[in-house]
């Protein structure tokens, strides 16, 4: 400012001196006026330029092109330019923070919807859009109650008690497909609300499965228990003949065995679910597995009094890797089913074969009653039976195929069923490459050792 004052007085002095030289006292006064007016005009011109620059519409390159002005106006322009640049930088940083914040909410596995004080949608992420069927752009400022028409949600919104969540049908739900969404509102700010949603379909399904499973197990155990109780009461209250007592005791033993088989299968299933996946270290020869399986199923056929043509093809010279007891239980379950469901006089073919596409296949083909196609997709569900009474008569628990499926999947393979009503069934599974190999050749005895064993002449 001091410099500016000095320059003004210097101009005034110069103009006054020139005026004095040219026209005496009046000339000096005129010179002073001219000097002052010239200063004012120059100052106004600079102010107008500065104002023009400030008034120009803001463009990103604007700040790079400020007018070059001397003195005070130059300093003002410089100061304004710095302030504008700092503001622009702050705006850009805030924008970036906002973008990364929104990107993080977009990446959230949960649905996030922002509602204003009138319950209109101001923003939502893609997950929420999927849950409720919103269009993130088109549905902005739409009333959420108009878009989420579930009566439970409408009641929840109207009640205004947001301390709990509400579970409704998601947009993807159809008559054949379950899609359940849990939604909860969280008020914030000045009447705005945060609507958080998550997909709870799997949770609800697991819950239903758990309830069904408990109900099934209770039912399966209650039936033999009721029968056992009946016999116990009869034995306690009625004086029975010896042969009748023996018959009742045999029936009681049968029910106890049924319960034991059920508990064993349940334990097997829970072990399969809880134990780590089988490694590739243990190798078991197929021939040994098949010998054990054949012995068990021939025993079962004898117990059931079945006259069947059970043809077990000699197992190829392979060994399989995994958990031997699990693979044995899978093949025994399949052959035992064929024995149980095929009437006397029927044929059962059991074979292993190298499919040539890197897979080893086990298959059991029977000439039994076959299974109607509508049952096939559900056969491996726990406790699913096509014919309840036949399964029970032959000691079935309804868990055999569930166990087989688990074992096969744990070993990287797949269970397949082909069957036609009245035309028999073929149950097969394959194991992937890496799970089988040819049995290594027996070590050759060295000639020296062989010579040592020859008796002295």
Least distance in angstroms from the C-beta of 397 to ligand ADP: 5
Task: Output 195 or 364, the one with its CB closest to ligand ADP.
Answer: 364
- Give the nearest distance from C-beta 216 to ligand ADP in angstroms: 12
Min CB(260)–ligand ADP separation in Å:
14
Least spacing, CB of residue 298 vs ligand ADP, in Å: 17
Q: Is the CB of 295 or the CB of 387 nearer to ligand ADP?
A: 387
Q: Whose Cβ is closer to ligand ADP: residue 111's or residue 413's? A: 413
Residue whose CB is less far from ligand ADP, 113 or 337: 337
Q: State in angstroms the smallest separation of the CB of 384 from ligand ADP.
A: 6
Nearer to ligand ADP, 153 or 341 (CB): 341
Please, which residue, 195 or 331, has the CB nearer to ligand ADP? 331
**HEC readout, the chain:** CHHHHHHHHHHHHHHHHHHHHHHHHHHHHHHHHHHHHHHHHHHHHHHHHHHHHHHCCCCCCHHHCCCCCCHHHHHHHHHHHHHHHHHHHHHHHHHHHHHHHHHHHHHCCCEEEEECCCCEEEEECHHHHHHHCCCCCCCCCCEHHHHCCCHHHHHHHHHCCCCCCEEEECCCCCCCCCCEEEEEEEEECCCEEEEEEEECHHHHHHHHHHHHHHHHHHHHHHHHHHHHHHHHHHHHHCCCCHHHHHHHHHHHHHHHHHHHHHHHHHHHHHHHHHCCCCCCCCEEEHHHHHHHHHHHHHHHHHHCCCCCEEEECCCCCEEEECCHHHHHHHHHHHHHHHHHHCCCCCEEEEEEEECCCCCEEEEEEECCCCCCHHHHHHCCCCCCCCCHHHHHHCCCCCCHHHHHHHHHHHCCCEEEEEECCCCCEEEEEEECCCCEEECCCCCCCCHHHHHHHCCCC
Complex with ligand ADP: residue 197 or 342, whichever CB lies closer: 342
Q: How far is the CB of 323 from ligand ADP (least distance, A)?
A: 20
Residues that bind ligand ADP (CB under 6 A): 337-338, 341, 366, 368-369, 371, 379, 384-387, 391, 396-402, 425
In the bound complex, what is the minimum distance in angstroms from residue 293's beta carbon to ligand ADP?
A: 15
């Amino acid at each position: 400012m001091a410099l500016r004052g000095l320059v003004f007085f210097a101009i005034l002095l110069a103009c006054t001196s020139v005026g004095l030289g040219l026209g005496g006292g009046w000339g000096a006064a005129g010179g002073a006026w001219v000097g002052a007016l010239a200063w004012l005009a120059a100052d106004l011109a600079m102010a107008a330029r500065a104002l023009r620059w400030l008034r120009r519409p803001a463009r990103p390159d604007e700040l790079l092109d400020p007018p070059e002005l001397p003195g005070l106006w130059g300093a003002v322009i410089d100061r304004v330019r710095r302030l504008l640049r700092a503001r622009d930088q702050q705006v850009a940083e805030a924008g970036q923070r906002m973008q990364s914040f929104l990107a993080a909410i977009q990446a959230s596995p949960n649905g996030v919807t922002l509602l204003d004080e009138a319950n209109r949608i101001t923003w939502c992420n893609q997950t929420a859009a999927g849950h409720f069927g919103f269009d993130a752009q088109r549905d902005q400022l739409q009333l959420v109650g108009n878009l989420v028409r579930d009566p439970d949600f409408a009641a929840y919104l109207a009640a205004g008690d947001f301390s709990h969540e509400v579970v409704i049908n998601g947009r993807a739900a159809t008559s054949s497909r379950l899609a359940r969404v849990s939604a909860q509102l969280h008020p914030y700010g000045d009447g705005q609300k945060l609507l958080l949603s998550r997909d709870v379909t799997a949770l609800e399904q697991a819950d239903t499965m758990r309830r069904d499973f408990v109900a099934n197990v209770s039912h399966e155990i209650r039936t033999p228990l009721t029968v056992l109780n009946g016999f116990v009461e009869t034995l306690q209250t009625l004086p029975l003949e010896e042969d009748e007592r023996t018959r009742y005791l045999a029936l009681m033993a049968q029910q106890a065995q049924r319960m034991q088989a059920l508990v064993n299968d349940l334990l097997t299933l829970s072990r399969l679910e809880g134990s780590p996946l089988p490694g590739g270290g243990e190798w078991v020869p197929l021939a040994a597995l098949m010998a054990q399986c054949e012995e068990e199923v021939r025993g079962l056929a004898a117990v059931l009094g079945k006259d069947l043509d059970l043809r077990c093809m000699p197992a190829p010279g392979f060994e399989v890797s995994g958990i031997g007891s699990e693979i044995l239980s899978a093949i025994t379950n399949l052959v035992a089913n064929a024995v149980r469901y095929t009437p006397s006089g029927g044929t059962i073919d059991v074979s292993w074969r190298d499919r040539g596409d890197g897979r080893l296949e086990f298959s059991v083909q029977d000439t039994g009653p076959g299974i109607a196609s509508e049952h096939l997709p559900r056969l491996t569900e726990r406790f699913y039976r096509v014919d309840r009474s036949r399964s029970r008569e032959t000691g079935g628990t309804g868990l055999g195929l569930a166990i087989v499926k688990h074992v096969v999947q744990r070993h990287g393979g797949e269970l397949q069923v082909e069957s036609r009503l009245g035309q028999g069934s073929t149950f097969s599974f394959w194991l992937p490459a890496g799970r089988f190999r040819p049995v290594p050749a027996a070590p050759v005895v060295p000639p020296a050792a062989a010579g040592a064993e020859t008796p002295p002449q």
